[in-house]
Amino acid sequence: MKKSRILVVEDQMLIALEIKDRLEDMGHEVIAMAKSGDKAIAFALDLKPDLILMDIKIEGDIDGIQTAEQIKKVMDIPILFLTAYADDKTLERAKLTEPYAYIVKPLDERELKSSIIIALYKSEIDKKLKDSEIKYRTMINSMECLVYIVDEDFKIIVKNDNTKNHSYMDNANKKCYELLYKQSKPCRHCSIDDLKLGSASRKEFMDPRNHRWTYMVTTPVNLTEGKTYIQNLVFDIEEKKRNEEEVFQLLQEKKRKM
């Protein structure tokens, strides 16, 4: 198992020392032990542990749940709650801090070991996903065209921040045909049925909102297994169309003079 730097938050010193011994026997490093929430926050900010074992009932003005809330506001560290109180009210409060697991006292070594392994693994995966999301958003926000992804129900789940000529894209979680085109049903140019079968679509059409020529590239994407999502790249080609029309008119004029 990978050696990790762990912060233990427990106000009963004998229990804290026992946990420290168990963790070190597993190959981890206990970088600090805190008895109160304030001390735990200070240690977390200063030492940046890989994981925190947090007793819910600790001394001081704030309990373990409130301590976790404060840490989560500034740091993305996996937290495992230790508790002798597994009542529904306590667990509902703790759920809001998105802990990686609850370990009920007295500690079972196998449960402790497996919970740490799972928490560290899930934390690593979450960080990779977050990095991927940041890279994707950076990429689509740098694009001059409008980019948005819809699910099978036409609901917009992702969009970029480029709203040039698309000021009506201020709200997500709306039906694309309602928000974009003010329609009560899917647009005529929509090819979502073909896209569900894996086909891509490229179409030019007049945007009914601003009466400008638009070029849309629509492709199916797989964000989660078993669901079809549709990515749309929307380009304003009004200037291109005008140039084409000017060239056409010039050619027609030339033909008439010949």
Do 17 and 117 have their domain in common? yes
Give residue 146's pLDDT. 82
Give residue 1's pLDDT. 55
Do 213 and 188 have their domain in common? yes
Residue where a domain terminates, one of 117, 138, 159: 138
Do 66 and 185 have their domain in common? no
Give residue 175's pLDDT. 80
Residue where a domain terminates, one of 106, 138, 170: 138
How far apart CA 165 and CA 161 sit, in angstroms, is 12
How far apart CA 94 and CA 88 sit, in angstroms, is 10
Do 93 and 218 have their domain in common? no
Residue where a domain terminates, one of 138, 169, 204: 138
Structural domain containing residue 50: 5-138
Dihedral, CA atoms, 184, 189, 190, 194, nearest 10 degrees? Answer: 150
Give residue 169's pLDDT. 46
Do 186 and 217 have their domain in common? yes
Do 102 and 150 have their domain in common? no
Do 80 and 27 have their domain in common? yes
Give residue 152's pLDDT. 81
Give residue 189's pLDDT. 65
Backbone angles phi, psi at 123, to 5 degrees: -65, -40
Backbone angles phi, psi at 166, to 5 degrees: -140, 50
Do 13 and 84 have their domain in common? yes
Strand 51-55, strand 5-9: pairing: parallel
CATH number of the domain residue 58 falls in: 3.40.50.2300
Structural domain contains residue 28: yes
How far apart CA 150 and CA 237 sit, in angstroms, is 22
How far apart CA 101 and CA 113 sit, in angstroms, is 12
Number of domains in the chain: 2
Do 173 and 154 have their domain in common? yes
Give residue 18's pLDDT. 92
Q: What is the pTM of this model?
A: 0.59
Do 39 and 110 have their domain in common? yes
- Can you list the residues of the chain whose pLDDT is less than 70? 1-2, 85-87, 162-173, 180-181, 188-189, 191-199, 223-226, 258
Do 208 and 128 have their domain in common? no
- Phi-psi group of 98: left, alpha or beta (phi > 0 → left; psi -120 to 50 → alpha; rest → beta): left
Do 33 and 131 have their domain in common? yes
